[in-house]
A and B are shown apart, each in its own frame.
Chain A
Amino acid sequence: MNFHLKVWRQKASNAPGKLESYEAKNIPAEASFLEMLDIVNDDLVAKGQEPIAFDHDCREGICGMCSAVINGVPHGKDRGVGTTCQLYMRKFQDGETITIEPFRAGSFPIIRDLSTNRAAFDRIIQAGGFISERSGSAPEANSVPIPKTIADEAMDAAACIGCGACVAACPNSSAMLFVSAKVNHLNLLPQGKPEKHRRVLGMVKQMDAEGFGNCSNYYECEAVCPAHVPASFITSMNREYTVAAARKSAGATG
């Protein structure tokens, strides 16, 4: 198969960028989207030209590193099943023009080409996305039974791979789906309850400080989420946040 690519090239965070055209020739239909980029890059490198920089690692849809907006949709999710690495070229028409851009958000500065800095997510986790527990201090695992439905729901939330497609897809660049996934994962579990108010207040505060936009309930986030995290977690986070804020306003501590 042959494709006409329009790829965002940008040398550094502060450098100007633009779409440049490349021809991807003789691409096997069985190739993944990233393998198609590999082929184009191999050719560029052999010619001594700088390859297209893009993030990727596990190439099986779980690490959350790959991140491209394909024809205006993060991970090309309108044609694929998950992440960019799980999108296969047979889903495209021969001869099609494919526009490839980085995940765009002010909080995800571009490092180079399609590669972005998503450290804002780590800082949000630092603001409360954990259970304070010292190695070795844990009680026996079965001492606290957790209803299966609660454990399953926590797992639905915990499935988030932290790729940032939710931010990239959101017209407002909101990180609410990511943040709510972690808040729900931990706040649902009995182990996470002692810190639940601190957690939601801290994480939302950091989310705002990072400059992400606000949720307008477009639901683009859940539509492109490779881990199928539902936006219903956003509504429960809204509730938890309001309750926590009200408690704090009323003078409650902890």
Chain B
Amino acid sequence: MGVSTSSAKSVSPLAAWLFSSIGKKTVVAVTGIFLVLFVCGHLLGNLTFFLGPDIINSYAKHLRDLGPFLWVIRAGLLAILVLHIFFTVSLWKENHAARPEKYVVKNHVKATIFSRTMRLSGLIVFAFVIFHILHYTARTIDPAFQHYETDLHGEMVHNVYKMMVVGFSVPWVSAIYIVSLGLLAFHLSHGIASLFQTLGLSNKQLRPRFEFAGRALAWLLFLGFTSIPVAVLLGVGREALK
């Protein structure tokens, strides 16, 4: 009976919950909800691409007009992402330590390819997010993007439409996007249903439905996001290059 049943120093009940196994997972799940919602919103915004340059440029302008509030949203998103990653890494470390000597032979019975690649897909998606921000938000990968401007109802605004068309016209860039979004879909294929399980919102009957719905949403997001680079490669929006 060598393991102590309670630590010497008293911890507040809130901290005890937060740093418990279930508490940490709850944080990952809750931040996951926000991230999924953000991704859905992001897609809806992106899809305005198909409505033509004016619509998407005006959508982008509205976002920029939020001014300081935009930075609050960005800071919030960053905090959520940091929490999501921080607690995930903390869980990973514990999970790794929980089996010091690995199996020589290990086979899986039920774990899906999605659940088994969460770590890899998460890491690549994270790297992709950085690339994506540098590419289209900070626009440092191709600094020329910063100078794309267009006339929108008499006002000079940033030409997001042109930037997207130019960006996705480069095959390797589109390839990075499609592969990374595929991995995001992998991540969400497990993640969405999983968060219901972690938050205690699932049960035996609901679980298969959440799993189906989660996967369906994940791959709809994939189709939605990748439709833009695919469309650009197929020639949509070429007129913007003129």
Q: Which residues of A contact B (CB under 8 A)?
A: 6, 8, 17, 19, 69, 71-73, 77-78, 99, 101, 104-107, 119-120, 123, 126-127, 169, 171-174, 176, 204-220, 222-224, 230-232, 234-242, 245-246, 248-249
Using A173-B98, A212-B21, A217-B190 as known contacts, list a sample of 4 further A-B pairs with CB atoms less than 8 Å apart, ordered by residue number in A. A101-B103, A218-B111, A235-B196, A235-B207
A71, A126, A204: the one contacting B20 at CB < 8 Å is A204
The answer to whether B95 touches A219, judged by C-beta atoms less than 8 angstroms apart, is no
B180 sits at the interface (CB 8 A): no
The answer to whether A101 touches B98, judged by C-beta atoms less than 8 angstroms apart, is no
A-B contact count (CB 8 A): 168
With a cutoff of 8 Å between Cβ atoms, the chain B residues found around residue A216 in the complex are: 91, 95, 115, 118, 194
With a cutoff of 8 Å between Cβ atoms, the chain B residues found around residue A232 in the complex are: 202-204, 207
B200 sits at the interface (CB 8 A): yes
With a cutoff of 8 Å between Cβ atoms, the chain A residues found around residue B99 in the complex are: 104-106, 172-173, 213
The answer to whether B105 touches A220, judged by C-beta atoms less than 8 angstroms apart, is no
B3 sits at the interface (CB 8 A): yes
Q: A106-B100, A232-B202 given as contacts; is B111 within 8 A of A171 (CB)?
A: yes
**Least Cβ distance of A148 to chain B in Å?**
17
With a cutoff of 8 Å between Cβ atoms, the chain A residues found around residue B193 in the complex are: 217
The answer to whether A205 touches B6, judged by C-beta atoms less than 8 angstroms apart, is yes
16 interchain pairs (CB within 8 A)? A69-B105, A106-B97, A172-B98, A173-B99, A205-B5, A205-B6, A208-B21, A214-B95, A218-B108, A223-B109, A232-B202, A235-B197, A235-B203, A235-B207, A238-B22, A245-B14
4 closest cross-chain pairs (CB), A and B: A239-B200, A213-B98, A72-B107, A223-B110
The answer to whether B199 touches A238, judged by C-beta atoms less than 8 angstroms apart, is yes
